[in-house]
Amino acid sequence: MLVLRYMRRPIFVLIIVYAIGITGMALIPGTAADGSPEYMSLFHAFYFFTYTATTTGFGEIPSEFTDQQRLWAILCLYIGVIAWLYAIGSIIHLIQNMHFVQALSEYRFSRVVNRITEPFFIICGFGDTGSLLARGLSDHRFTAVVIDRDPERIKALSLRDYNVTMPGLCGDPSEPRHLVDAGLKHPQCKAVIALTSDEDVNLKIAVVSRFINPKVQVICRSTSTKHKEQLAPLDNVRIINPFEIFAQLLSMAIITPRLHNLNSWLVRAKGVRLGVPLDVPSNNWILCGYGRMGQWLHKYMKLNSINPLIIDPDIESSSGIDRFIKGYADHGTLSDAGLDTAAGIVAGTDNDSDNLNILMSAQVLNPKAFTIVRQNHHANQLAFDAASVDLILQSSLTTGRRILKYLISPHIQILIDYLREQGEQHTEKIVNRLSTSIGDQTPHLWSVTLDSKHAKSATELLNAGHIINIGDIIRHPSRRCESLSCVPLVVLRTNRPIMLPENEIQLFNNDSILFCGTEQSEQLLASTLNNTYTLHYLLTGKEVARGFIFQWLGQLAEDKKSSTA
């Protein structure tokens, strides 16, 4: 429609110019070879104007032109050149028109999305969090569809070396038509993740997605209590608050340090080694900044019987805080607050420069203090890495890890909650088991469902009445006495989870198993579950003949043994 709208006038001009020129050439008489008058046919006139428009000359047809015909041809050629220049200029102007470019990109984008045949996710907002999440999904070979208002971010998306296709659209992610173009109604769409910098836009995306497709999962980043109350009644909607998550993680590090170490190792936190938990002090803390992060940290510290000293320029006595200093956390204020004897300090303001200054004062006044810092911008990563901080809250990284963990392995949070209830001794057992199986290799989480699509051979054997245990499928396909470098963490059976299953646990159809291991072990396990011969060998220890000839020879041997017996 845009092409017709912008090219209507140039096309009419060309048609009129050609119609007048062709009609004139047909009406002006020429001279035949015998000198009699001859009129050019409409077809010959059209042919003449066609090849002259391409600046190609084939001569005067069907006979030599008269002076009147040549004069009319000259006039029509000049007018035709002007008409073509006008048409070409209109085409160039159309190509540069922002509405046409947007419509064309939306059309191409929707075509790419419609061709997706595997499960995918819609990421609304390609900032720091969206970029980290897309990278994590790509590493696990999941496709994501990205919508962002900033054209530079969409250009950056096309330049990333992802393992799978990541189509992107420059547009408002809160507009319903853009969400539909991104595949909100697509049968393979599994979740919509709202990660824009505007929390009101995130709220609108969540509500619109919920109404357009009630079955799709919606994940919304928000730090607003109001938004949480508005979205709480909706089904399939999950709120991600990075400050609350970090406060929970800090509480876990204080109460259950081994579980915190395991959780950090599973999400591949930088510098974390399995079995080496943090030694977080449980008293005498200084909290710099009482904003969104500071309030959540203070809440969870109070739950753990920690009463920190708060430093903030906007804090008031009416807020219910009994230990506070109203002012900026500069070197003098920190010294007066007793930082030299404090066990830990939190630099939690919304300014990275202020947080780095707080860390510098902490290193001078008390180098042994446990330091926690809030990093607001991903671009400052090098500066915070050089500061040698014990814990860093990077909002985008915390959000991205939590969402990725929920999308890739939703059962892992069930396991973390279970281990928190069981205590540190139970956590130590699974840590030792993971250390023995995986060692220093990078952990990799994945889930396997025993159905005809993901485990064809295993499903066929189960339907045939065979008994399959977890220990059978994690055997190495070429070394049956050894196990793959993986540990089953959770078996989900009809919404009833079995935590930390032993190798003797029997499996059934439609069981979903969460594994932690290496990427190679995932590939070998997938091959085992979909190869009848390999799975039969692991179950029985006997190799079945695969070819017709070998099967015939094997049958002869069996018949010979039977006759001898």
Could you report the per-residue pLDDT of 57-107, keeping only the tens digit for each?
Answer: 777 877 888 889 889 998 998 998 899 898 888 888 877 777 777 778 888
How does the average pLDDT of the chain come out, rounded? 87
For the beta carbon of residue 102, count every other beta carbon within 10 angstroms: 15
Instruction: Decide if pLDDT at 317 tops 50.
Output: yes
In a domain, 549, yes or no: no
Same domain, 88 and 121: no
* 392 in the same domain as 256: yes
Closest to 123 in 3D by CA, of 113, 133, 114? 133
pLDDT tens digits along 1-35 = 667 777 888 889 999 999 999 999 999 988 887 77
R_g of the chain computed on alpha carbons: 35
- How would DSSP label each residue in 412-423? HHHHHHHHHHH-
* CB within 8 Å of 429: residues ≥ 6 apart: none
Q: How much is the pLDDT for 372?
A: 92
| Domain end position, chosen among 96, 128, 150 | 96
Specify the pLDDT at position 540: 83
Question: What pLDDT shows up at residue 550?
Answer: 46
* Residue 101 covered by a domain: no
Q: Is the residue at 52 inside a domain?
A: yes
**Domain-located, residue 562:** no
Q: Write down the number of H helices and E strands in the chain.
A: 23, 18
Q: 555 falls in which pLDDT band (50, 70, 90)? A: low
Task: Write the pLDDT tens digit of every residue in 344-373.
Answer: 999 999 899 999 999 999 999 999 999 999
**pLDDT for the residue 559:** 60
CA–CA distances in Å: residue 126 to residues 116, 146, 151, 157, 173: 20, 7, 10, 8, 11
Structure-token pair, residue 183? 């595949």
- pLDDT at residue 560 greater than cutoff 70: no
Confidence of residue 531 (pLDDT cuts 50, 70, 90): confident
Task: Tell whether 318 is covered by a domain.
Answer: yes
What are the tokens at 448?
A: 């396997």
Together in a domain, 478 and 535:
yes
How much is the pLDDT for 525? 92
pLDDT-derived band at 561, boundaries 50, 70, 90: low
Instruction: Tell me, yes or no, whether 437 and 522 share the same domain.
Output: yes
pLDDT at 553 over 60: no
Strands laid side by side in the 444-449 sheet:
444-449, 512-517, 486-493, 496-499
Are residues 259 and 326 part of one domain? Answer: yes
- Burial class of residue 318, CB neighbours in 10 A (0-12, 13-18, 19+): exposed
Looking at the structure, do residues 192 and 310 belong to the same domain, yes or no?
Answer: no
Render pLDDT for 248-304 as a digit per residue (tens, 0 to 9). Answer: 988 999 889 999 999 999 888 888 889 899 899 988 999 999 988 899 999 999 988
Whole-number pLDDT of residue 344: 92
Q: Are strands 512-517 and 444-449 parallel, antiparallel or unpaired?
A: antiparallel
The CATH number of residue 15's host domain is 1.10.287
Amino acid 205: pLDDT = 94
CATH number for 201: 3.40.50.720
Tell me the average pLDDT across 121-144.
Answer: 92
| C-alpha neighbours within 13 Å on the C-beta side of residue 407 | 32
pLDDT per position as a tens digit, 487-530: 999 998 876 889 999 989 999 999 999 999 998 999 999 989 99
Higher pLDDT, 558 or 89: 89
Do 316 and 340 belong to one domain?
yes
Complete DSSP assignment for 160-219: S--SS---EEES-TTSHHHHHHTTTT-TTEEEEEE--S-HHHHHHHHHHHHHH-TTSEEE
50 shares a domain with 181: no
- Does 28 map to a domain? yes
> In this predicted model, what pLDDT tens digit does every residue of 199-249 receive, in sequence order?
999 999 999 999 999 999 999 999 888 888 888 888 888 999 999 999 998
- The answer on 135 and 256 residing in a single domain is no
Identify whether residues 252 and 395 lie together within a single domain. yes
- Is residue 148 very low, low, confident or very high in pLDDT (cuts 50, 70, 90)? very high
- Strands 324-326 and 344-347, how do they pair? unpaired
Q: Which two tokens stand for residue 525?
A: 């396990």
Please tell me whether residues 404 and 504 are part of one structural domain. no
Q: What would the mean pLDDT of 128-135 be, rounded to a whole number?
A: 92
The domain in which residue 333 lies consists of 247-408
Confidence of residue 544 (pLDDT cuts 50, 70, 90): low
Of 374, 408, 442, the residue at which a domain comes to its end is 408
Domain assignment present for residue 198? The answer is yes
Percent share of the chain, pLDDT over 90: 42
Q: What is the CATH number of the domain that holds 531?
A: 3.30.70.1450
Asked whether residue 545 is domain-assigned, the answer is: no
Residue 380: per-residue pLDDT: 87
Answer yes or no: do 351 and 460 share one domain: no
Domain total for the chain? 4
How far is it, in rounded angstroms, from Cα 90 to Cα 87?
5
Residue 498 CA to its chain's centroid (Å)? 29
